[in-house]
Structure 1
């Protein structure tokens, strides 16, 4: 395991009191090789390895088996992890008992919103229907749906930090809305199945989350910036850099996800983000170039019109969460953007 990831997971395990709730349980994770859910797989796996008696079984549903085998190559020797190549848009059946389902399969990169909008929305709608039915059939203890802060749309400045009941403008006739609208529908699927059939569904809405293991080809600006620093290239701004975002380190976010899975209220949504680490894109670029000042990296501004035809630019100028609901579950983020992005860069150089 990457040394930075191992340090993060050791710290997370030491800081999380409820691992006993996973003893002898089976956890199904969809999209398991993706950036956010992979850290959950890593954490539960590490827990098994360090605490042999815990006996957590992990079913990792992935669309690309080869990618997953590479991502979890260091875990292939262990029988507690089952990697199954399966598209969640198709019905999944198993005779195994399942205690927890984490549905995180989704095309979250903006580069897909223009090029594959149908594929983007299918996992959030059809995939959610298939897995919530499975949750009902297996009578799971908890079902966790990974939504997104994109569901809020364009809210007013005086509504930021955004509370879970606040929603703004979102145009369903714009192709970029394929992601946000289908996440909204995914949430309502969860709520409807909880209301009508009692499925113990909870929802997390991650804001901008970064950390070790994220794809540097993701298409999101902070991933591009990390890739530039790792490769010793100047940081290229493809806008005026005025848009503001709140950035949350993956270790902090992972703890929040697990808290909601175990202790979140059924039928409720929870913001997961770090409102204390809000930066404009230009400010983030300046922070990134200072991570390794010895490289002499600079910030450049290039408005690339050809790129913008592929990349579906967000119309949201500022996004930051209100995390009062998560604080009631005992969570607050603790890692600054300066430290978190430093650790992220180091993880790619390890």
Structure 2
């Protein structure tokens, strides 16, 4: 494990959370080879060692061999299965972190049906399991994309300000299925008292991002590493909300242990709110020290890239801040840490 990520994990382990509440508990993480899921496994492994909690970690993955390579340093047992199939789990279960989802835009537009199925059937199976095992807490990882296109007159968007989604656009498969999953979570809480919390993540990156990741932030970072210009395939006017990986993990664990059941929380660093173009300019000027430029190459159709519809929306993080969460890493440092981590072994 490279040094930046290791320092981040150590900082999370000493974060002011009631870790002792999890003593001798069993925790299940889905989507454990994804960015957030893998970081949660690594953090819980570190916390378990540091405080000798006696945790038992289980991770649902599609490929146990790939998971073993990624998480070989962690004491975790892999369950290889598709989350769309019923989940059989033997023994007690106390906490669930449900991270499994399609997160690549191109896959969303190429396989919209499968994107919906993974969200809906996977979440229903997790909620059934949580009900059966009478778990202490569940966190469902949702997304800022559930908001759709909100009122541009809003200074900030809180958790109740849902906007418009174009149901004829296949790319809406992700946001709409996330909305339904959130509704299902709240229905299981209302009818069966399943203790669910919902984390609406801003776009999250930093140390821990895989070198094969091809999302916009990764493309920008790779441009810095290779010394090549950043190429925008849109006009860059869409705004973004971002959060550093370690800050996001702190927020998720805070919700697991201290969040209010049946509630959704934005996890976003408000100071990072800006347009894609502004972010590209910061990366080129400050992160790359002016060695690269930003150029625009807008194709006749951007459908193949799977980009979400342009939005102008600043997420409010007031609700989770009231629980004690404060982001610590700004955008420029997010990139520098990610790039240092990606180039550490080169």
Confirm or deny a common fold (TM above 0.5). yes
Flag the 1:286–1:188 CA change in 2: closer, same or farther, 3 A: same
Q: Which residue pairs with 1:29 in the alignment? A: 29
> What residue in structure 2 maps to residue 54 of structure 1?
53
Per the alignment, do residues 118 and 160 of structure 1 end up closer, same or farther by CA in structure 2, a change over 3 Å counting?
Answer: farther
CA–CA separation in structure 2 for the residues paired with 1:242 and 1:94: 47
Check whether the contact 1:216–1:224 (CA below 8 A) recurs between aligned residues.
no
Segments of 5+ residues of structure 1 without an aligned counterpart are none
Unpaired runs of 5+ residues, structure 2, are none
Residue of structure 1 equivalent to 2:91: 96
RMSD after superposition: 1.6
Kept after mapping to 2: 8 A contact 1:243/1:316: yes
Deviations 1:120-149 (A, max 9, x none): 111210001101000001000001111111
**1:315 has 2:309 as partner:** yes
- Residue 238 (structure 1) aligned with residue 233 (structure 2): yes
The one of 186, 194, 198 aligned to 1:191: 186
Q: Is the 8 A contact 1:207 1:320 kept in 2?
A: no
Distance 1:334 1:64 in 2: 34
Give TM-score, length-normalised by structure 1: 0.94
Q: Is residue 194–residue 266 contact of structure 1 (8 Å, CA) maintained in 2?
A: yes
Pairing 1:20–2:15 present: no
TM-superposition CA deviations, 1:138-178 (whole Å, max 9, x none) = 00000111111111110011224211001111122211110
Separation in 2, partners of 1:220, 1:330: 30
Q: Which among 102, 120, 143 is matched to residue 148 of structure 1?
A: 143
8 Å contact kept, 2:287–2:332: no
Structure 1 residues 122 and 203: alpha-carbon distance in aligned structure 2, compared to 1, 3 A threshold: same
Q: How far apart are the structure 1 equivalents of 2:137 and 2:243?
A: 24
Quote the Cα distance in structure 2 between the aligned partners of 1:224 and 1:338: 15
Query: Is the 2:195–2:261 Cα contact (8 Å) retained in structure 1?
Result: yes
TM-superposed deviation, 1:199: 0.6
Q: Which residue of 1 aligns with 2:167?
A: 172
User: For residues 144 and 296 of structure 1, do their structure 2 counterparts lie closer, same or farther at Cα, with a shift above 3 Å needed?
Assistant: same
Give the SS at the match of 2:270. Answer: coil
- Alignment: residue pair count: 344
Could you list the per-position Cα deviations for residues 10-45 of structure 1 after superposition, in whole angstroms to 9, with x for gaps in the alignment? Answer: 112222332112211111000011111211111011
| Cα distance, 1:217 vs structure 2 | 4.6
Please give the secondary structure, in 2, of the residue aligned with 1:159: coil
Q: Which stretch shows the higher mean deviation, 11-20 or 338-347?
A: 11-20
Alpha-carbon spacing, 1:63–1:117, altered in 2? closer, same or farther (3 Å): same
What does 1:107-256 correspond to in 2, within 5 Å? 107-256=102-251
Corresponding residue for 2:11?
11
SS in 1 for 2:328: coil
**Match in the other structure for 1:296:** 291
Q: Residue 266 of structure 2 contacts residue 316 of structure 2 at CA under 8 Å; is this kept in 1?
A: yes
- Following the alignment from structure 2 to structure 1, what is the Cα–Cα distance between the partners of residues 233 and 318? 34
Rounded to whole Å, the distance in 2 between the matches of 1:64 and 1:119 is: 18
Q: Residues 83 and 291 (structure 1 numbering): CA distance in 2 closer, same or farther, change over 3 Å?
A: farther
Q: Residues 16 and 255 of structure 1 are in contact (CA less than 8 Å); yes or no, is this contact kept in structure 2?
A: no
Shift of 1:216: 4.9
Shift of 1:195: 0.7
Equivalent-residue separation in structure 1 for 2:334 and 2:259 (angstroms): 26
Question: Is the 1:25–1:98 Cα contact (8 Å) retained in structure 2?
Answer: yes
Name which of 263, 276, 279 aligns with 1:281: 276
Structure 1 pair 238–344 and aligned structure 2 pair: CA distance change class (3 A): same
